[in-house]
Amino acid sequence: MNADLVVVGSGFFGLTVAERCAEELGLDVVVIDRRHHIGGNAYSEPEPTTGIEVHRYGAHLFHTSNERVWEYVNRFTDFTPYVHRVYTNHGGEVFPMPINLGTINQFFRAAHSPQQARDLVAEQAAELGGREPANLDEKAVQLIGRPLYEAFIREYTAKQWQTDPKDLPMEVISRLPVRYTYDNRYFNDTHEGLPAQGYTAWLERLADHPRITVQLETDFFDASQPVSKGSVVGQVPVVYTGPVDRYFDYAEGALTWRTLDFEEEVLPVGDFQGTPVMNYADADVPYTRIHEFRHFHPERDYPTDRTVIMREFSRFAQASDEPYYPVNTEADRARLLTYRDAARGERGVLFGGRLGTYKYLDMHMAIAAALSMVDNTLAPHFRGERA
Ligand code: UDP
């Protein structure tokens, strides 16, 4: 194998590192991936009977306020003006998400002004007694008060995480804005949109460089193939973006992950739910949300008599499942510290991405982290080597 760098995993983190190392540093990069396609969980493909682009591993919405990331991603794809909006079904009624003045007034059957709504929520959050919240449960009560928390967050979170919200980090909930206006944009970021030709076209452009070789269906832990852990580590620098616990053979125990199952259906109707994502806030519905993919691309010429929906179910991941979300309980965090020490001690290997760092990174965060790894570690290393 003729490579200056091996990248394990072809998601956004891995491909960004590969592209920068090939283009900016002039390195020959081999990217391997266990799956039959590139892109990790951002991979998408047309559903064969309708041509509707389906995000195979759940809906991916691109948004960022990082100017450098925005400039970088625009080198590889155009973006549509798509703006993400989510609704949630609770008690047989549909409310706008994230929680905003529209949600609050509909829920309380009121016509509160922004200040009245703030006062109401503050009153309902008084049970915390001014204490700083220590976990997701308390953080949610602080943000929106108990009645809204119990209606829109508690049961959805129970389905999504199956973990006592007192054991979940509050960052999970502070991802969502709470607004005292009728603005129901899901994200607060400056830039937002979907790749005009789809995620896979974008990811392929990223990988399309004469110095990059991608080898699919290649398992880093399969010693019988040439680009394996045993044959590469110590010989060639490696950027590893798989699960960090897997790399160390679960020596400190397994980190807990949530995985998702999807039930896809092609329906003989032009429009199933009138919106891209409908959440199901209540415990009596087993799925967390339904995606209807045609609505991500209203600008496309999709069939008008059929639609593709995907119900999303969440559960704990076994070793053989695809990990999606780090659960990040106290026990996980303690374990992660020992894995981080081990990772620092692993010479010639850098760990990155959602799986490699056990962090709930969005796409733009993974890309930003990859650019930083190139700037701060890989560029100085390779330039120094040549100097
Ligand atoms: N959440 C919720 N109700 C909702 C939407 C989100 O309780 O209708 C909570 C839930 O705990 C979820 C978290 O907020 O895990 C973050 O939601 P987000 O939509 O950002 O999750 P993702 O799209 O990454 O799955």
In the chain, where are the structural domains located?
A: 5-75+193-256+325-386, 86-174, 257-316
Q: What is the pLDDT of residues 107-165, one digit of tens each?
A: 999 999 999 999 999 999 888 888 889 889 999 999 999 999 999 999 999 999 998 88
CB 178 within 8 A of CB 144: yes
* CA 59 to ligand 1: nearest atom: 23
Measured distance CA(53)–CA(328) in Å, rounded: 32
pTM of the entire structure?
0.96
Chain center to CA of 55 = 12
Measured distance CA(206)–CA(146) in Å, rounded: 45
Rg for the chain (alpha carbons), in Å? 22
Name the fold adopted by 5-75+193-256+325-386. Answer: Rossmann fold (3.40.50)
This model of the complex carries an ipTM of 0.98
- Catalytic residue from among 35, 154, 211, 289: 289
Distance from the alpha carbon of residue 148 to the mean position of ligand 1, in angstroms: 14
Please tell me if the CB atom of residue 279 comes closer than 6 angstroms to any atom of ligand 1.
Answer: yes
Please tell me if the CB atom of residue 277 comes closer than 6 angstroms to any atom of ligand 1.
Answer: no
Q: What is the pLDDT of residues 55-114, one digit of tens each?
A: 999 999 999 999 999 999 999 999 999 999 999 999 999 999 999 999 999 999 999 999
Measured distance CA(120)–CA(113) in Å, rounded: 11
> Angle 199-207/12-23 helices, nearest 10 degrees?
30
Specify the DSSP element, H or E, that contains 150: none
Please tell me if the CB atom of residue 153 comes closer than 6 angstroms to any atom of ligand 1.
Answer: yes
Measured distance CA(131)–CA(365) in Å, rounded: 31
